[in-house]
Structure 1
Amino acid sequence: MATVSFHLKRPDAVIPTAIIALVTFPGHRVKVYSGRSILPKQWVKAEQRALERGYQQNGLLNDQLDLLQKRLQHYCDEQAALGLLPTAEALKSLATLEEPTAPAPVSVKKSFADYYTEWVKLTLSRGKVGTARAGNTTLRHLLEFEQAEGYAVDFDTITPVFADAYTAYLLGPANLTDNTIAKHIDRLRRFMRYAVDRGYTAARGWEKMKWKRQEPDIMTLTAEEVEALENLALLAGGYLDNARALFLLSCYTGLRFSDLVSIRTEHVRGNTLRLTTQKTRETISIPIQARALEIITRYLAGEVRPISNQKLNDYLKELGQLAGIDSPIEVIKYRGGNRSSETVAKWERLGCHTARRTFVTLSLERGLRPELVMKLTGHRTWRAFQRYVNITEQTVAREFAKAYEMPAPKK
């Protein structure tokens, strides 16, 4: 009875070596070159096969060896049944027969979610981490809506009827505010525009989707509250001292969090901070005041550490409470056009984006023209810029008294 085993010509080689089939039958042993080769480190001697784990291409090689073994074995069995011995020439010729090939790739139709994920990945590849994260949140809501309501979300089904059902879901089970819903609808519209531009769809029903945004009250810190944070006695190098430095640097420069934690040595050019923003890819140049330069120097030296946006927001609330930033503010929310409000201490709403808004408001109060502040912050439109302006009642009263020669208001 014949046996077939596989061996390497040079098991100690550091380059690919030939795989040999050793055919053994009564009184004879024939070497048959398989016509295949492999790196010895990818060969499993005990199994006489190529290692597949971590080497996906070796699966096809093993299929070819299996087929060759069957051919050689079948030929030997046929010869034995006829009372004949296999010939070396015939055995070697079997190794030159047509080899099995990998199956042709099957064309798989991409789903709506696949195209959406492609768009998010493209956004991420451009360095817009926050935008990509927000895009993933919108996709999660779409998939949850699809499962909860049984509505098949696809290019052709995104219509005003879909918008009615989807926004009702976001208002109800998802419990989102009008502003958040408006962001999700706007994000979905931007993706649909991307899909149309690339020929993925010709659908146009999405163009009529809309949701009214209710502009929220802008919360900023006053100059006195910023000063209270500056004068707060903290453990040097501690987590609160670190968080304060990051927040104040944003108050002094107007940088978004994503740009704040991306500052490098090459961005500092004398007394100017020049960089390209992560979100809009705008190149901005910001004069560095002394207080900002001190923090930037510490940051570049590793004395101020970047932390996550979420952690910074948590620490800022603790800082605000310690600094006595506790004046009551009304927090207004809109759902489906219905207004609700609650009054909380100001520190409870303190977040890293408050610093950017504070920079804008205090810069205007100090007399900088709006167009100059927009140049510093990278805002392209006045409408977008307005969302960052919060001229406080105290400032209005102070400036009014100054203009009309009235007694200065009490603090």
Structure 2
Amino acid sequence: MYSLNFYLDKTYRVGTDSKVIKQHLFKKKVNQKHLNLRKTSIYLWCSMLGTKTKFRTQFRIEPLSWDIKKQRPKKAYEHYTTLNILLSRLMKKVEENIMAVQLKEMVTVEDIHEIIKQTVNDNLPKPKSQDFFSVLDIFLNEKFEDVNPNTKKKYQTFKKVLHDFKKEKGYILTFSNINEQFHKSFTRYLAEDKNLLNSTISKYWSSFSVLMNYSVKNGYTNNMEYKDFKKIKYETDVIFLEEYELEAIRTLDLSKNHGLNNVRWIFLYMCYTGQRYADIRGLTPSELQRTEDGLEWRLFQRKNNKPKMVTIPIIFEAEKILNMFINESESRNGRVLPVLSNQKMNKYIKEICKKAKITETIHQVKYRNKERVEINKPKYTFISCHSARRSFVSNSLMRGMNPETIMKITGHEDSSTMNLYKKIKSSFAMKEYRRVWSNGNENSTESNQDGGNISLK
């Protein structure tokens, strides 16, 4: 009797030839150059007895992320799951309301249209009666069931900052007032009151998006404005230890400090294998397998609760470190390495690097909201557990290892991550060039001056 489907309004750019549009609709293929670049409204389309009527919903999406064949968001769309659930929920509600009326009386086309209009405008699923901070607690209780300590600490800090914002600024935070004004106020609070840089502010907003996705999916709110919040952009500086610096750490005399000595070897093992702190801490003897090619570490990485198996070849230097500790693993509940808490590891790693004279001044330019901040600190102050992973990737690239091979070992899934290291490889090449060509030529500067000044135009 009737059929329902979703339809995206203003899919094409203004001025697109109607023949092009008809051709695209017929073939169900879209040439991206003709697509509208802005978000447009999603309509519910009703066909009945030869008439077609569309009803505007509250949802919007970029045409590039919309599948015109399925009339649903593409799976590659960042918020595919959430939006798809909401659209399905709306469609089901419309069908239920129409069915309820049909069981009682005959309905006309006008009746069907009125039911759809009423449902779309007024009868979207009502949020559950929970305030924002109650939902935050529910979310955290579920989130903490299966996360590592660092993730748990991150969300506890996130919760505290939201409460601080509410208390210090008198902002009554509810699902209904999560809008652009809130976005600006909270960002300004993090920058000015908490004195945070954009890199950290961005992480808070990432946690907030995870919370809101959960809230929408579980019916606590229909407010989708958070998806339009402008992301805070920042550049990531990849600070890592070069091989000569790793050698300085390896040969450092720490015989009089047993604790630092252990941290030194664990940190080097991380640099040789490229794995995360949590995976290093959880290493057990059963994960180590001897093959024809040598010792391998067969690890099930867990990130975002998605297990993934990676195989890490254990080089000779790393195997020597394992042999230092593996016989005492039973006394550590089966853990091979005596890894301390992340906080203590980071503290002692900095101390070790300072003793190894890794004191080169690092200059950084950061931003706190729109304020430019210049940072000049000794290199050792930037080194932490995660620096080991960055050192592994950087040194492997500079040795000529294929990026795809590195990703298989580290477990990186996004190839764009490797782009962060391109400028490192470029700067290293320039550094090597200067080192090689100035080797044994102490008077190179004077020689250049004798030859005259080079004019760059």
Q: Same fold (TM over 0.5)?
A: yes
State the superposition RMSD in angstroms.
Answer: 2.6
Partner residue in 2 for 1:248: 268
Question: Hey, what's the Cα distance between the residues in 1 that align with 2:139 and 2:381?
Answer: 35
Partner residue in 1 for 2:320: 294
Partner residue in 1 for 2:364: 331
- Stretch deviating more after TM superposition (193-202 or 251-260): 193-202
Question: Hey, what's the Cα distance between the residues in 2 that align with 1:149 and 1:300?
Answer: 53
Question: Hey, what's the Cα distance between the residues in 2 that align with 1:385 and 1:117?
Answer: 36
CA contact (8 A) 1:218 1:388 kept: yes
Which residue, 297, 320, 345 being the options, matches 2:353?
Answer: 320
Partner residue in 2 for 1:113: 133
Partner residue in 1 for 2:186: 166
Question: Hey, what's the Cα distance between the residues in 2 that align with 1:386 and 1:266?
Answer: 35
Which residue, 210, 221, 234 being the options, matches 1:201?
Answer: 221
CA contact (8 A) 2:238 2:421 kept: yes
Partner residue in 2 for 1:184: 204
Which residue, 250, 255, 271 being the options, matches 1:235?
Answer: 255
Partner residue in 1 for 2:297: 273
Q: Does 1:368 align with 2:388?
A: no
Question: Hey, what's the Cα distance between the residues in 2 that align with 1:176 and 1:401?
Answer: 38
| TM-score normalised per structure 2 | 0.61
Which residue, 215, 218, 221 being the options, matches 2:238?
Answer: 218
One-letter code aligned to 2:174: D
- Stretch deviating more after TM superposition (231-240 or 218-227): 231-240
CA contact (8 A) 1:261 1:306 kept: yes
Displacement of 1:316: 1.2
Bigger share in helix:
2
Displacement of 1:210: 2.9
Mark the CA change 1:190 to 1:387 in structure 2 (over 3 Å): closer, same or farther.
farther
Mark the CA change 1:390 to 1:174 in structure 2 (over 3 Å): closer, same or farther.
same
Mark the CA change 1:319 to 1:199 in structure 2 (over 3 Å): closer, same or farther.
same
Gaps of at least 5 residues in structure 1 are 1-107
User: Secondary structure, in 3 states, of the residue corresponding to 2:349?
Assistant: helix
One-letter code aligned to 2:311: S
Which residue, 252, 268, 283 being the options, matches 2:309?
Answer: 283
Which residue, 355, 364, 386 being the options, matches 1:353?
Answer: 386
Gaps of at least 5 residues in structure 2 are 1-127, 330-336, 443-457
Mark the CA change 1:209 to 1:244 in structure 2 (over 3 Å): closer, same or farther.
same
User: Secondary structure, in 3 states, of the residue corresponding to 2:188?
Assistant: helix
Question: Hey, what's the Cα distance between the residues in 2 that align with 1:377 and 1:320?
Answer: 24
Displacement of 1:185: 0.8
Question: Hey, what's the Cα distance between the residues in 2 that align with 1:166 and 1:157?
Answer: 12
Report percent identity of matched pairs: 29
One-letter code aligned to 2:404: E
For residues 210-248 of structure 1, what are the alpha-carbon distances to aligned partners after superposition, in whole Å with 9 as ceiling and x for unaligned? 332211321101110001001111127701111101110
How many residues are paired up?
302
Mark the CA change 1:114 to 1:384 in structure 2 (over 3 Å): closer, same or farther.
farther
For residues 64-97 of structure 1, what are the alpha-carbon distances to aligned partners after superposition, in whole Å with 9 as ceiling and x for unaligned? xxxxxxxxxxxxxxxxxxxxxxxxxxxxxxxxxx
Displacement of 1:261: 0.7
- Stretch deviating more after TM superposition (287-296 or 360-369): 287-296
Question: Hey, what's the Cα distance between the residues in 1 that align with 2:440 and 2:152?
Answer: 47
Displacement of 1:164: 0.9
CA contact (8 A) 2:158 2:207 kept: yes
For residues 17-49 of structure 1, what are the alpha-carbon distances to aligned partners after superposition, in whole Å with 9 as ceiling and x for unaligned? xxxxxxxxxxxxxxxxxxxxxxxxxxxxxxxxx
One-letter code aligned to 2:254: L
Displacement of 1:328: 1.5
| TM-score normalised per structure 1 | 0.68
Displacement of 1:287: 0.7
